[in-house]
Structure 1
Amino acid sequence: MNYRVRYLLRRVFRQADRFTLLNLSPVLIYIAGLILLFIGFITMEDSTMVRVLYGTVGFMAAVWIFSMVILNKNEAYVKDSILKVNYIPLYLRILPTMIYQTIMFMIFITMYSAFTALFVDNWMMNIYSLLYYILLGLILVIPFTMLFLGVSMHINTNKINPVLFVIVLLIVPVFYLPEQLPSAVENIFSLNPFYYVINGLQNNAIHQAWTVNRLPFDVLYVTQMAILYLWMFEAYNKIKIQLYNEKNSMPEF
């Protein structure tokens, strides 16, 4: 087992060592969502709670994706990370956060479905669709993490993080249903890769697993990711070197 694998395993299970509150914040939000669903299923009609489940899964998916980007930015700016950037590649430094946060997200999404099954008959989540959309989400996070790192070198992103999160919530169907939108607006939103991943997780949570009808959107998603990854491979070395050079001018966390 080489040092990179040892580093990866060590950091996955020690996420709370640094930025403890930030790293645990998504888990606390997931727990709050679980409590909300439990109370709701006791006090509301099943049809109402299915809508609440849809919105809750969408919100938690947005938290999952957004938190990985933010937490990876923090990890990249840790002094010991930058000093060792030539030995532990930057891409390897973002993997522990992604693995840990994804495991937590999967656990709680599964628990949401299990809670629903306690109150709604014949309720079952498609595990294959869940894994598929989670994989798409992980593919999406990596280039946006690189983009966020590049932007954070020039501006203090801590001040705009809440605004960015609100924007993410507005462009994905958390507080509204897709069918409530005009067709033109829904078609425009569906071009957004965040919308596709989060809406896919939401649909899977309410018994609408992936089907071949969504294949054209998959092709569009793959095309968008190919363009993003071409940019990322070109920008990766530059971003890594800039992070190394700025190790003495750390942003505030």
Structure 2
Amino acid sequence: MYTAIDLSTDKFIETALNLFNSTMSLLYDLLSINPTKGAYKGGYGTVSKLYTTFSAIGVSLMVLFFVYGFCRDSFDVKADLTLNSSIKEYIRLIIVSNLIANFITLVPKLYSWAIIMLLATKKESDMFDAEKVGASIEEGIGFGDVGSWLLSILFILITLACCCIMIFATFGRFLNLFIILPFATIALSTIAGGGNLSHTGFSYIKTTLTYIFEIVIMGVVLALSGTFLSSVSIGADDNGLLIMVEVIAKMLTITAAYKGSENICRKAFGL
């Protein structure tokens, strides 16, 4: 026996909207995954080994940059090398050496804090009423059967692209964090030199914090998206094409805000 497949416009649109709703619900679960534990623990173990390997280079550079900074301040004719400035140099060296030794163990703790903050944003919200929106678009689209069917194909492709972009952004933060962590010791060693040289180390710390805590911004976007998406003006003027345009615009807006969470985090906190 053969099962009849419904290829009508409203079913295509309903399927696309159900896919988008399911993706929005799935994203919270994906965001709450800690890349330092569970299924990704093996990957983080590889990162830790690389971190240890690069530590030898980082420690050597730390000593080199410390000597450079000390000599720079010693031969500064505009400022005398006082006891206070010498103590400050050694305090900076102690801080950097502890950072290099413990940074890889701090990341899991920071990520756990980020997940706690993420869970605080979790909110059960209504999304698109897929069946109602699909029926409204089909009734008022006014392009004939073929035209409506082609528009529904375009609609499902746009929806699929939005879902893929958001899922890619969710998993991409793992890779970004894994890529930069092995080089932590090299970047942090520049802080021992002080002055403009230390900007590299501080920039590295800001970037790492951005990759860790951007999931909180993503969680806020998901928390707000439910109300934003469920307020579609269905049947306002019985124009199915305008309803479709409104739905697509809202999906694209949510996708852009979700994907741009990193930039929002950087601008909001100066990271």
In the superposition, the TM-score normalised over structure 2's length comes to 0.23
**Larger Cα-atom Rg:** 2
Q: Which has the higher helix share?
A: 2
Greater RCO (Cα-Cα under 8 Å, separation 6 or more)? 2
